[in-house]
Structure 1
Amino acid sequence: MALLTLSLAAPAAAQTQPPAREQQQRQVVLPNNPNEAVPEARVAVGVATYLRFDASLDKASVEVEGRPARFRWVDVGERLIAVEPSVDLGAEERLVVRVRYRDGASPAVATLVLVTHPTLVDKEVEVVRRSRTVEALEAALAEKEAALAALQAVSGPAGLVFSGRLDFKGVQARRIELVPTGPQSGLKVVKGEAYRATTWALAVVRVRNLPGQKPWGPGEARLTRPNGTPVKVRSVDMDKAQLAPGEEGLVALETEAPFWDAGEFLRLELLDKSGTRRLSIPEVKL
């Protein structure tokens, strides 16, 4: 009787084993059109499926439907999402995986659905974005050109008004009169101008890098009131990448909204990126 009981129990145990499925590696292409079908990845209990993407992912944006109830584990890497379901999905069950790319290219979001196939399972799925057609690239270029034209249209005086950087009080301009006459660190101030508006001030200085010196470019600008209070410098730029020996260039530095008196002298210092070549103008009215 014991032998008979064993022979009847063995088929029942075998029926609880998950069906053997052929493991595959394949590629799916993400659609550019939201009306196109979402690609599928086939998963199965006891098998880890690796979704490999062609660009870096925003890990914080990963969404896996049914997690954690339907999955033994989910792992997210720089370009990888790995999943292993704890049970096979139902015949009509489709669980969505959604993640955003970090590069912002189109499509910006990758969406797949996980399904269970009776005979196949995806061990590894390469997820790629479809190469854009010439027509799509031309349309994108036209859109960018239109945006650039709109930006250029408001980058002049009208743009200053729209942004609030120029109001009815206008801009006061004056020359920087007391410029040093001698060289400093192989540099010389040729001349300068100062501009003052309600929300900003601007110092523009023409600098000459004397012959025989190394190339120079501004790395930092400092403005200080007579009492030692620093003035915040928003930006410092030059009309050239760097000044070759004997070359001149315009250096412009923009400050925060003026809180000092227009007749007050400020100390201006320009330093290169190494901090070793310093140009100082002790008395600047902004």
Structure 2
Amino acid sequence: MFPPGSLVMAAVVLLLGTAAVAQTPNTKRWRRVERAIVLSAGSGEPVQRLRLAPGVVTTVLLDSDAALEGELPEALRGLFSRLDVTGTHLLLQPTVVMPAQGVPPLVLRFTDAAAPQRLVLELTTEANVVDSVVDVRRHPATVAQLEAELVALRERNAQLEARLVAARRQVPQPGLAGAILSGAIGPERVLVKWMDDPASEAGLKVLKLRSYRSSSWVALAVKLENPLGEAPWQPGIARLISLDTNGRPTGETMELPMLLQEPRLLPGQSAVAVVQWPAPTRLPSAYALELWDTGRRRGARWARLKP
């Protein structure tokens, strides 16, 4: 006969032993694989997948001494019973299956001057395969790889320079602020003149015309309408021809951009087009003005204007 307390003690020991067996990882279910990884200095810094399994020790062999880059992420601390970097070896033994999300990469930095300088490991767990030994070797970049990397860097620099130019460009200000900041208007007055000079129209209708003149700039604002039944009108260029007192060209012709709020005029649509140019020290007797679409087939022409 057993003493009365011995049966209770035996039951407790049996239950604890059963729980311990249940919590022990089944390391036999994973097939162990040994493989090699070759890192090329000219291939950027790809992330390498490292397959881990609970209770299984994975060894990463390095071709040079390395150390963890920064502190071990807090999210990794509770996942491993062993995580050591000693010289040219990285040893990992997880206690659990790697979560599908929220596991940060493990980053090692080599201590020598060879490239690449970093090894980025994505820690995962697969159904039945585990990396037991991974041999990491680095190869120097070839001339072709370095040339390709140089081309990519130049393209990236060009994109960054374009973004920098755009960032430095002043944001247009509404109202009079933009004109004041740019110096388009100052203490001198701006002369505004409504003009009723007839225009020769070719597939485009002129509704209104007025001129603006300051000490620095001259501008013409034309309200245009694309008649119904016509194709969309795409603004092209404006030609401004200086005329002498007899109405003959002086030989000075400017091709200027036409500024519209809309990218094009649809049939029946109207909008104001603005043409501006720096005010000359001495205005010519008159100008001839031509407004054309991109194909120079449809537009309007004034034989003589005095802004």
Normalised TM-score (structure 1):
0.50
Give runs of aligned pairs for residues 33-52 of structure 1, distance below 5 A: 42-43=114-115, 48-49=140-141
Query: 1:80-130: per-residue Cα shift (whole Å, max 9, x none)?
Result: 149xxxxxxxxxxxxxx999733219xx9xxxxxxxxxxxxxxxxxxxxxx
- Return the alpha-carbon distance in structure 1 between the equivalents of residues 253 and 150 of structure 2: 49
Q: Which residue of the partner structure matches residue 249 of structure 1?
A: 271
Alpha carbons of structure 1 residues 172 and 256: separation in structure 2 relative to 1, 3 Å? same
CA contact (8 A) 2:219 2:276 kept: yes
Report the CA distance between 1:161 and its aligned residue.
2.3
* Residue 245 of structure 2 corresponds to residue 173 of structure 1: no
8 Å Cα contact 1:231-1:255 kept in structure 2: no
What's 1:80 paired with? 149
Larger Rg: 2
Aligned residue type for 2:195: I
Q: CA deviation digits over 1:179-228, x for unaligned, max 9?
A: 23x6x222121111100112211111111222221111220100111133
| Aligned mates of 1:177, 1:203 — CA distance in 2 | 13
C-alpha distance in 1 between matches for 2:44 and 2:145: 20
Q: Does residue 161 of the first structure (1) align with residue 161 of the second (2)? A: no
**Structure 1 residues not aligned, in runs of 5+:** 1-20, 30-35, 51-72, 83-96, 109-143
CA pair 215-270 structure 1, distance change in 2 beyond 3 A: same
Q: Which amino acid aligns with 1:24?
A: L
Per the alignment, in what secondary structure is the counterpart of residue 258 of structure 1? coil
Task: Check conservation: 1:235, 1:253, Cα contact below 8 A.
Answer: yes
**Structure 2: 5+ residue stretches without partners:** 1-35, 47-69, 71-106, 117-138, 244-248
* Structure 2 residue 211 is matched with structure 1 residue 188: no
Per-residue Cα deviation, 1:252-280 (whole angstroms, up to 9, x for no partner):
11112234437x32111011111122310
SS of the residue corresponding to residue 202 of structure 2 reads coil
Instruction: Report sequence identity in percent.
Output: 22
Q: CA RMSD in A?
A: 4.1
Query: Cα 1:155–1:231, aligned 2, differ >3 Å: closer, same or farther?
Result: farther
The whole-number CA distance in structure 2 between the counterparts of 1:240 and 1:246 is 14
Q: Deviations over 1:146-181 (max 9, x none)?
A: x99x846x554233223222111121110122123x
TM-score, length-scaled by structure 2: 0.47
Alignment of 1:1-286 (within 5 A): 23-25=38-40, 28=45, 42-43=114-115, 48-49=140-141, 77=147, 79-81=148-150, 101-104=157-160, 151=171, 154-180=173-199, 184-226=201-243, 227-261=249-283, 264-286=285-307
Q: How many residues align?
A: 178
